[in-house]
Every structure is written in C-alpha cells, then in structure tokens.
Amino acid sequence: MSDLIYLYGAYTIVWAGVFFYILKLHIAQRKLENEIKMLREILNGKKSKKNL
C-alpha cells in the first residue's frame, strides 16, 4: 500500500509540473502578443506620418 502513496505523489508532482509549464508558456505568449501589438502600432504610426 505504501508504494501506491509514492506513485500518487510522483504522479501529482509530474502533473503539477506540466500545469506550471503550460502556465509559464501562456504568460510568455501574452507578453509576446502585447509586444507584437505595440510594434505594429509603432509601425502604423510611422507609415501614417510618412504619408503626410
């Protein structure tokens, strides 16, 4: 029975690791999306100034 406790503990640790890894990727993706949005706004601003 004690072996099942270790198995459950390892299983829980692995899934917690997967969850936090996915969370970390999600946060990084949001940061990149915000940066891309900002860069597009800067580029669009420069294009509109050139057209004046």
Q: What is residue 46's predicted lDDT score, i.e. its pLDDT?
A: 78
> How far is the C-alpha of 6 from the C-alpha of 12, rounded, in Å?
10
pLDDT digits (tens, 9 = 90+) for 1-52: 688 999 999 999 999 999 999 999 999 999 999 999 999 999 998 777 666 5
* Every domain of the chain and the residues it spans: 17-52
Per the structure block, which two tokens stand in for 24?
């970390």
Q: What is the DSSP string of 6-39?
A: HHHHHHHHHHHHHHHHHHHHHHHHHHHHHHHHHH
pLDDT value for 51: 63
> Quick one: pLDDT at residue 33?
98
pTM: predicted TM-score of the whole model, two decimal places:
0.71
